[in-house]
Amino acid sequence: MAAKRINRRQFVRISGAAAAVAGTGLDAILSAQRAPAYAQGAKLHLTRWVDFVPAGDEVLAKQMVEAGKALGAEVTLERINANDLQPRITAAVSSGSGPDIFHMLHNWCYLYENSLVDVTDIAEPIGKAQGGFYQPVVDATKVGKAFRAVPHAIVGGQIAYRKSLFAEVGAKEFPKTWQEYREVGKKLKAKGFPIGQTAGHTFGDAPGFWYPYMWSWGGKEVEKDGKTVAINSKETVESIKFATAFWKDACDEGGLAWDDASNNRAFLSGSISATLNGASIYIESLRNPDKYKTDKGEQMKTDILHAGNPAGPKGQFHYHASFHHGIMSYSKNQKLAKEFIKWLHAKERFEPWFLAEKGFSVGATKIWEEHAMWKDDPVMLPYRTAARAFQLFGFAGPPSAKASEAYSKYIVVDMYAKAIQGTSAEDAAKWAEGELKRIYG
């Protein structure tokens, strides 16, 4: 094949663009108005979860096309069930090939540390430019001194509840404690509208409910040293006893087999009166106002409010699912992947996605708390600042690969599920202790 000749003008233009790229990065690429030379013909593969807010995925799909033009690369967005992300990551790492960028959830960075590229050089400027990351997402992604993924968003967990049903049983405001929640739930269940919560093997809602529930009673997986297993405590046993009674008195007992989508369906069909969830239930009711109606024929969206978790003896605790973008060490396009993440996480690109998410996903950085969007809908306000206070799996120890392992094996969730199924509280705690000792030992 004959080499393509370029004239002097073309040479000056291309070398100018390349110099700009080398000198100032993405801004220079954009001002040069042509793709960086290194990325010509390159391909980038991003694998993320299937968002519970479809509008968010639609915005991302459009942005992939824009990214392709801006970076001079073909960017592919693959979306898979969140429960299938970990198996895909394992398969990709083991075979040394697969997506360049994976959606990392929770504190998975600790589990996949060796297979993730150090992205401190892009994570820190992104955080700095947007008011700083929330501390828990830093803890989730910064392994040792290096960011192993760039925090992108947080899906806040709040309890969505039917205000009319709660009012009918005398609860003018949302219960402040677990005890109050149980009493209200008992009346609601008697009316045929139980509280719905999963205790099944599913990635988000199950750990999102049971970990903070345990913390609020004073239960913890390990001591601060991150090694000494501490789950079999008086506090944990008390929490289990209460949970079994709460489940029987107030909850939809089918929740043992629910996945992350089951409570959404149950709520929107009018089968349950409350559930801990991201804001996807409310956002779906806004999207299809005439599809989801209350038993009185009113639009479901007019009957939904959100509230934080009730408090236990040790206070109110939350867990919010954090989502990050991690570049795989086997990727041959690591430099391009970094440019892409910088591009995607920039304010101009994050904002349209943030608006489409309507508060289901909030920023991993603090600046987004101040966005004008929050003035639009007071029902969503509890999500605005939700990310300010939450802690990670493995509490009271630091986040670690061991904590991720315990999460992936559903030890805490199954401890409560076993008790709900009839195992005594003491035996359930003892079982969890044995499993955690195998992990942390």
Partner 1 sequence: MAAREPRSIAGGAGGAAEAASRLTVAPRATARAAWLGQALENERVLGFLLLSPTVVLLGLFIAYPFVKGVWISLTNATVGNPGAFVGLHNFEKVFHDSIFRQATYNTFVYTALATVGKLALGMWLALLLNRHFRAKRLVRASMLLPFIIPTVLSTLAWKWMFDPTFSVLNWSLYHAGIIQTRIGWLTDPTMALMSVVVVNIWRGMPFYAISLLAGLQTVSPELHEAAAIDGANGWQRFWRITWPLVLPVTMVVTLFSVIQTFADFQLVYALTGGGPANSTHLFATYAYQVGIVTGLLGEGAAASLAMFPMLFVIVIIQLWYIRRVEGA
Chain contacts with partner 1 (rule: CB under 8 A): 83, 86-87, 89-91, 93-94, 111-115, 199-202, 252-259, 262, 265-266, 269, 271, 329, 404-405, 408-410, 414, 417-418, 421, 431, 434-435, 438
Rounded to the nearest angstrom, the gap between the alpha carbon of residue 91 and the centroid of all alpha carbons in its chain is 22
Nearer to partner 1, 24 or 94 (CB): 94
Contact at 8 Å (CB) between 76 and 45? yes
Q: How far is the CB of 115 from partner 1 (least distance, A)?
A: 4
Q: How far is the CB of 45 from partner 1 (least distance, A)?
A: 18
Is 236 or 361 the residue whose CB approaches partner 1 more closely? 236
Which amino acid makes up residue 287?
A: R
Task: State the pairing for strand pair 274-277/42-49.
Answer: unpaired
Nearest to 136 by CA among 386, 401, 406: 386
Phi, psi of 135 (to 5 degrees): -60, -40
Q: Which is nearer to partner 1, 164 or 408 (CB)?
A: 408
For residue 91, count CB atoms less than 10 angstroms from its CB and return exposed for 0-12, middle for 13-18, buried for 19 or more: exposed
Question: Least distance in Å: CB of 379 to partner 1?
Answer: 24
Can you tell me whether residue 158 is helix, strand or coil?
Answer: strand
- Minimum distance from CB of 35 to partner 1 (Å)? 32
State the Cα–Cα distance between residues 155 and 151, nearest whole angstrom: 12
Comparison of 32 and 93: residue with beta carbon closer to partner 1: 93
Q: Which is nearer to partner 1, 87 or 378 (CB)?
A: 87
Nearest approach in angstroms of CB 380 to partner 1 is 26
Task: Please give the Cα distance from 251 to 135 (Å, whole number).
Answer: 33
Q: For residues 306 and 418, which CB has a smaller minimum distance to partner 1 in the complex?
A: 418
Q: CB of 403: closest distance to partner 1 in angstroms?
A: 12
The least CB distance from residue 409 to partner 1, in Å, is 6
Query: Residues 6 or more apart from 405 whose CB is under 8 A from it?
Result: 111, 439
User: Residue written as tokens 């969730």?
Assistant: 413
Walk across the sheet containing 42-49 and list its strands.
73-80, 42-49, 101-105, 321-327, 150-155, 361-363
Residue closer to partner 1, measured from CB, 72 or 326? 326
| Minimum CB–partner distance for residue 192 and partner 1 (Å) | 12
CB 300 within 8 A of CB 202: no
Task: For residue 379, give the nearest of 321, 307, 317 by alpha carbon.
Answer: 307
Nearest residue (CB) to partner 1, 258 versus 282: 258
